[in-house]
Amino acid sequence: MSTEELRKDAAELRGFVEAASRPRVKDILSLELRKLETEIINKEEAIKASGDAMETETGKPTTEGLKTKQPRSVSYIQEKNYAWDQSDKFMKIYAQLPEVQSLPTDKITCNFTSRSFRLQVNELKNKNHEWHIANLMEEIVPESSYFKVKTNSVLVMLKKKDVKTWAYVTEREKKAQDTKAPKVDDSKDPNDSLMDMLKQMYEDGDDEMKKNISKAWSDSRNKQTMI
């Protein structure tokens, strides 16, 4: 599916999130929206990387281009996926990496700036891994930020400069969502529109999505029965 189509799906789903009145339903929709947003960002980065490679291969030869390029002394696998959570004072990034706890501490480093961080894990089963997250949503305090090695993951603790809730981890994620939300059909009851959308999500969703929606429906009906 093209990036444009994914953006349209995200815009429509965002409208349903805003229209939802039930907290549990809103949480389910928000989770699916976040998954879709991550897919859009990953696809855009893959397209950009492919375009840069093609431009290099088809570009006109120049004196600079004919020079022998020196290989990087260390090659890194650029990791894109991570989980996150936050408190009032910290943004928490979970970089998942099996058996990372088996490495000596000097093989793991993390450098911070006011709006980015670069986590590097070296020589894990003869491979090097890097998470470079730039253009953070808000400023952090580099000297008060740190990381912890956990079982199969590294927890990066980003100290917030201001005590506030971040809507996203990066500005790029926010910009990916700044598309115009679809207008609600005034001729149709909002609850009917929401139910139609949930039914479609149930039919198209994976097993986990179907399980979550079924539970939400069941809980909603049980509460209505008790009233």
Q: Domain residues of the chain, as ranges?
A: 3-54+184-226, 77-177
Q: Catalogue the E-assigned strands of the chain.
A: 77-78, 83-86, 90-96, 108-113, 116-124, 127-133, 146-150, 153-159
Instruction: Give residue 9's pLDDT.
Output: 80
Counts of helices then strands in the chain (DSSP H, E): 5, 8
- pLDDT at residue 175, rounded to an integer: 85
CB 32 within 8 A of CB 201: yes
Confidence at residue 191, expressed as pLDDT on a 0 to 100 scale: 60
pLDDT at 193: 62
pTM of the complete model: 0.51
Note the CATH architecture for domain 77-177. Sandwich (2.60)
- Distance (Å, rounded) from C-alpha 6 to C-alpha 50? 19
User: What is the distance between the alpha carbons of residues 96 and 110, in angstroms, rounded to a whole number?
Assistant: 15
pLDDT, residue 90, reads 97
Of 144, 161, 173, 159, nearest to 86 by C-alpha is 159
- Burial class of 3 by CB neighbour count within 10 A (0 to 12, 13 to 18, 19+): middle
Residues of the chain short of pLDDT 50, as ranges, are 60-68, 70, 180-182
- Predicted pLDDT of residue 68: 46
